[in-house]
Amino acid sequence: MERRRGKRIRLNAPVILYKDALPAATAATVDVSSEGLQLRGVSGVFGVNTPLEVELNLSTAKRERMRALVRHEARNRLGLLVRDVAGAGILQMLAEAAAAAYRSAGQPQPSPARRDETAGRAALQDTRVKPSG
């Protein structure tokens, strides 16, 4: 069932999840839209409606942090709803830039099923949750 109104754009970026201002887990994005993001490598760590801060590591020099709320959790995936205007703006900018990059490269957006096939087990192993503490 589609939960987001905005179009999902595939994006693989590392993230750090913070709970109560402390690093709680690491993961990687699967896709982003203007209102939320899906992460892989996180399951069974946070409950639905848990407030988190998400730090997107876009490059070594650029990190963006936003408030989010866990909306669903299943099969090593976590769906987050962004809770602040600045975070929604960041995701919108990322989604537009990624879509433009696909268009300029002449590549269609991969379907969700194909994305999962190509991710492979090694990629998932690299993004497993690493609890802090």
Residue 37 has pLDDT above 70, yes or no: yes
Q: How far is CA 98 from CA 26, 82, 114, 130, in A?
A: 22, 18, 18, 27
Domain covering 9-123, topology: Thrombin, subunit H (2.40.10)
For residue 85, the cross-strand partners are none
pLDDT digits (tens, 9 = 90+) for 57-100: 877 677 889 999 999 998 889 999 999 888 888 888 887 887 78
- pTM equals 0.72
Residue 122's pLDDT band, with cuts at 50, 70 and 90, is: very low
